[in-house]
């Protein structure tokens, strides 16, 4: 099912999306950078569906949308560098890689010591995570290794038969061209940029200054 998002129907479509997420389904939805595939981030079965749609190897990680830092702190350890970056750039095009808390063992955290954190600057994303009450996967909506398209129709065409496993598509129109989020690993003693995207290396360095280490 494809639904066309507007400010007037945002609450309705958040509700429809939550109905899908609660039964382990997958939602295609817009973020502040790209379209993403959303599922219950800590459900093994739901996350497996996302990997299957993308044709992605399970050794690769998937980040998740959180509604705010209070939700993040329920699942991950937030150190000083992560706090500085969050205060400066979140909500926004930043992914933080943080150590997971003890007991977080399923979904995107299965067989991993860290989890990827996104708080996109997009009203639909924030409302969805808040109302769902827990994180939602935020991986780009594309075949793994192929170009990420900016419109729902192009995405569904690229995915081909795999698109049949998407239960709901939230269409916000063609998104403007954008780099992906910048990914910063804050799980160790020093932060490291794993992917330079919308936010530059210099912006990240300035946000965590004073910092004597390399990023």
Q: What is the pLDDT of residue 215?
A: 60
The answer, yes or no, to whether residue 3 has pLDDT greater than 90, is no
pLDDT in tens, 164-176: 999 999 999 999 9
23 lies in some domain: yes
Specify the pTM.
0.92
Q: What is the pLDDT of residue 181?
A: 96
CA distance 116 to 175: 23
Q: What is the mean pLDDT of residues 136-161?
A: 95
214 lies in some domain: no
Is the four-CA dihedral 21, 27, 31, 33 of positive or negative sign?
positive
Encoding tokens for residue 156? Answer: 């569904």
Is residue 122 within 8 Å of 32, Cβ to Cβ? yes
CA distance 113 to 76: 10
79 lies in some domain: yes
Please give the residue range of the domain that contains residue 92. 2-208
Give percent above pLDDT 90 in the chain: 88
How would residue 47 be classed by pLDDT, with cut points 50, 70 and 90?
very high
Q: What is the pLDDT of residue 210?
A: 65
Q: What is the mean pLDDT of residues 28-55?
A: 96
215 lies in some domain: no
213 lies in some domain: no
pLDDT in tens, 102-123: 999 999 999 999 999 999 999 9
Q: What is the pLDDT of residue 98?
A: 98
The answer, yes or no, to whether residue 142 has pLDDT greater than 90, is yes
149 lies in some domain: yes
How would residue 2 be classed by pLDDT, with cut points 50, 70 and 90?
confident
160 lies in some domain: yes
**Structural domain count, the chain:** 1
72 lies in some domain: yes
Q: What is the pLDDT of residue 212?
A: 54
The CATH number of whichever domain residue 64 belongs to comes to 3.90.870.10
Contact residues for 92 (Cβ-Cβ < 8 A; gap 6+):
32, 119, 120, 121, 198, 199
From the list 177, 178, 154, 179, the residue with the least C-alpha distance to 2 is 154
**Chain mean pLDDT for the chain:** 94
Q: What is the pLDDT of residue 6?
A: 79
């Amino acid at each position: 099912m494809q639904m066309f998002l507007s400010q007037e129907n945002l609450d309705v479509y958040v509700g429809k999306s939550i109905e899908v997420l609660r039964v382990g389904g997958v939602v295609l939805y817009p973020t502040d950078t790209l379209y993403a595939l959303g599922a219950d981030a800590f459900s093994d079965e739901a996350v497996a569906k996302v990997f299957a749609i993308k044709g992605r190897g399970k050794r690769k990680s998937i980040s998740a949308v959180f509604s705010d830092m209070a939700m993040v702190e329920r699942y991950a350890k937030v150190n000083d560098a992560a706090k500085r970056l969050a205060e400066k750039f979140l909500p926004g095009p930043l992914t933080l890689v943080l150590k997971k808390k003890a007991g977080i063992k399923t979904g995107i955290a299965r067989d991993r010591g860290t989890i990827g954190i996104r708080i996109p600057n997009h009203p639909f994303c924030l409302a969805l995570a808040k109302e769902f009450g827990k994180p939602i996967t935020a991986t780009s909506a594309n075949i793994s290794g192929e170009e990420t398209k900016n419109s729902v129709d192009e995405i569904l065409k690229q995915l081909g038969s795999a698109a049949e496993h998407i239960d709901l598509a939230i269409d916000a129109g063609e998104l403007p061209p954008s780099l992906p989020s910048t990914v910063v690993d804050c799980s160790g003693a020093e932060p490291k940029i794993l992917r330079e995207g919308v936010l530059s290396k210099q912006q990240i360095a300035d946000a965590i200054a004073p910092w004597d280490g390399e990023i």
